[in-house]
Amino acid sequence: MKKIPFPKAVLFDFDGVIVDSFKSHYGAWSSAFRELFSKEICPFPEATHAGKAPYLIAQYFAEYGGDPSKAKALNALKQKHVITSALPPDLLPGVKEIKSFLETNNIPFGIASNAYTAFVENSLKHAGLPFPVCMGVDQFDEPKPSPVPYWTLAERLGIKEEDFQETLIFEDSLTGIKAAAATGMVAIGLLTQYSEEELKANGAVKVFPTLLEAYQELVSE
């Protein structure tokens, strides 16, 4: 793809696309794990769990803690900790620019995340950059890598199937790019954590370093 099409709609992942929230999430997992298991947590399993639903991450950590039956309790406790975190996530480059571009051109846009809706909305509130539609994993029948989150968001935004080929999806994880590619929309990768080769191998039709470079291409003649 030489240049991304002028979009009829744009869908975004959250973590790694809009914000860098690793410190917020891992800090909350760590404090919740310490409270529940009375010991320190293991390193985050990025290679296998980046972008996955929180309940799957909770299962991994609970197994490490020695009691898989506590996964549900760990997940619930982590959600409480991350909402009250003193480490709000940082906005990534290009978010303000592309959001302003979409608003100016009356292009529908929203977020579909494997994080919980409350975290996404709270993070954007801290950043002073609310989005019109934010949907978290608690609003979907299936998490990514299923395409269901993006199909659900598209329906919420009133995007018709005939417009999918001009609807952009920005993702940074392999889990997310697989979901985006399966929708029939335009899956675009960002180099937050994976290489261009890895993202394209999992369905990205084009890759940018951040949203800033994607925005610059959109506004270029």
Note the Cα 43 to chain centre separation in Å: 20
Instruction: Select from 3.40.50.360, 3.40.50.1000, 3.30.429.10, 3.30.1330.60 the CATH code of 9-21+89-219.
Output: 3.40.50.1000
pLDDT of 125: 85
Q: Does position 177 have pLDDT exceeding 70, yes or no? A: yes
pLDDT of 46: 85
The answer to whether 109 touches 102, Cβ cutoff 8 Å, is yes
For 88, residues 6+ apart whose C-beta sits below 8 A from its C-beta are 24, 123, 126, 127
pLDDT of 74: 96
Query: Could you read off the pLDDT of 130-172 as tens digits, one per residue?
Result: 999 999 999 999 999 999 999 999 999 999 999 999 999 999 9
pLDDT of 147: 98
Q: Does position 9 have pLDDT exceeding 70, yes or no? A: yes
pLDDT of 18: 96
Tokens 């009691």 found at: 67
pLDDT of 87: 67
Between CA 207 and CA 184 the distance in angstroms is 17
| Sequence spans of domains, the chain | 9-21+89-219, 22-83
pLDDT of 76: 94
Q: Does position 82 have pLDDT exceeding 90, yes or no? A: no
Q: Does position 221 have pLDDT exceeding 70, yes or no? A: no
The answer to whether 52 touches 14, Cβ cutoff 8 Å, is no
For 71, residues 6+ apart whose C-beta sits below 8 A from its C-beta are 55, 58, 59, 61, 62, 63
Query: Could you read off the pLDDT of 92-123 as tens digits, one per residue?
Result: 999 999 999 999 999 999 999 998 998 899 88
Query: Could you read off the pLDDT of 15-67 as tens digits, one per residue?
Result: 999 998 888 888 889 999 999 999 999 999 988 998 788 999 999 999 999 99
